[in-house]
């Protein structure tokens, strides 16, 4: 049974992520086993294909990128056997000394949120990752069980802050100078007080948000948060575009690319070359 237990001998996630970015560059590669990518690798859309794809990505890229980010939904679609592959993938990340970010986007209240926290952050859980993505749109404090458990176990969270999908504006941009997104980001700043170079409560900010940060008056430096920025590559963002969008916030940004790199597989050398080229575009 998962349990927070005693605090492990593990540095806070923010410090470990900063060290990984300094060593390997500011790149996170998503592990996204879409049916189309499995087919492109010559694999069936099956448990066997899912396993070969996932473990192949980890084996090729552990030690070459700052973090790997399995997309949880693409394992859940295979049922319990898919979650077993996810457990194996996370274990291989740990064995390969590469940080794992479970892209689960969990969010709920009370005992349900506590159960999600146990699943993704507790010591002894077979799904525990180094960090997990969370949705705060039931109110930031609804995430408290996960925030507290992450702090207790030296793990991290990435809270959805400002996403680039068109529908996001209908919620996140409401309020203008006192927008919902700004309120979430200010709450993250309170979690990261006095933590440097950044804290363990991160933010998800879309790589293609453009001028939205400036328009909403959002100061990411003050948040002291690592920024997980999806959208690099296949979704249209380039390193140059991201540097222009994030400006002074750039040292906090962990760019995320999935399909653009994964389509180079299944050859391990080709995957590493694609990741290296993407990483270099961020330097």
How does pLDDT run across 70-109, given as a tens digit for each residue? 999 999 999 999 999 999 999 999 999 999 999 999 999 9
Neighbours of 186 (CB within 10 A): 15
Cα–Cα distance between 62 and 46 in angstroms, integer? 24
Is the model's pLDDT at 128 over the cut of 70?
yes
- Tens of pLDDT, residue by residue over 150-205, are 999 999 999 999 988 888 888 888 888 889 999 999 999 999 987 888 999 999 99
pLDDT on residue 6:
43
Confidence of residue 2 (pLDDT cuts 50, 70, 90): low
The percentage of residues in the chain with a pLDDT greater than 90, rounded to a whole number, is 76
Q: Cβ–Cβ contacts within 10 Å for residue 16, how many?
A: 20
Active site residues: 105
Q: Please check the confidence at residue 20 and state whether its pLDDT lies above 80.
A: yes
Instruction: Kindly state the tokens that stand for 87.
Output: 């457990």
Contact status, residue 66 vs residue 17, Cβ threshold 8 Å:
yes
Distance of CA 226 to the CA centre of its chain: 10
The CB density around residue 149, as the number of other CB atoms within 10 Å, is 22
What is the Cα–Cα distance from 131 to 150, expressed in whole angstroms?
8
How do residues 24-81 score in pLDDT, each as one tens digit? 999 999 999 999 999 999 999 999 999 999 999 999 999 999 999 999 999 999 999 9
Q: CA nearest 180: which of 191, 190, 168?
A: 168
How confident is the model at residue 171, as a pLDDT?
87
Residue 7, pLDDT above cutoff 60: no
Contact (CB, 8 A) for 146 and 191: no
């Amino acid at each position: 049974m998962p349990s927070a237990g005693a605090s492990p001998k593990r540095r806070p996630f923010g410090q470990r992520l900063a060290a990984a970015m300094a060593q390997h560059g500011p790149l996170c590669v998503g592990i996204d086993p879409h049916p189309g990518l499995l087919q492109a690798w010559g694999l069936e859309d099956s448990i066997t294909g899912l396993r070969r794809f996932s473990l192949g990505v980890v084996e090729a890229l552990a030690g070459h990128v700052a973090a790997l980010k399995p997309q949880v939904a693409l394992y859940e679609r295979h049922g319990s056997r898919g979650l077993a592959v996810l457990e194996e993938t996370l274990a291989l990340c740990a064995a390969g000394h590469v940080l794992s970010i479970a892209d689960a986007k969990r969010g709920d209240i009370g005992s349900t949120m506590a159960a999600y926290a146990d699943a993704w952050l507790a010591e002894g859980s077979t799904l525990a990752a180094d960090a997990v993505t969370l949705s705060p749109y039931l109110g930031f404090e609804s995430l408290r069980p996960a925030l507290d458990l992450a702090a207790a176990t030296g793990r991290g969270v990435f809270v959805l802050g400002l996403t680039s999908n068109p529908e996001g504006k209908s919620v996140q941009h409401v309020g203008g100078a006192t927008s919902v997104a700004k309120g979430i980001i200010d709450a993250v700043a309170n979690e990261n007080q006095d933590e440097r170079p950044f804290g363990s409560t991160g933010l998800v900010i879309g790589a293609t948000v453009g001028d939205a940060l400036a328009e909403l008056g959002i100061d990411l430096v003050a948040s002291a948060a690592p920024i997980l920025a999806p959208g690099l590559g296949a979704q249209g963002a380039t390193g140059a575009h991201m540097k222009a969008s994030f400006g002074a916030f750039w040292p906090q940004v962990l760019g995320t690319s999935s399909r653009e790199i994964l389509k180079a597989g299944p050859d391990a050398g080709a995957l590493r070359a694609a990741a290296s080229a993407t990483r270099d575009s961020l330097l």
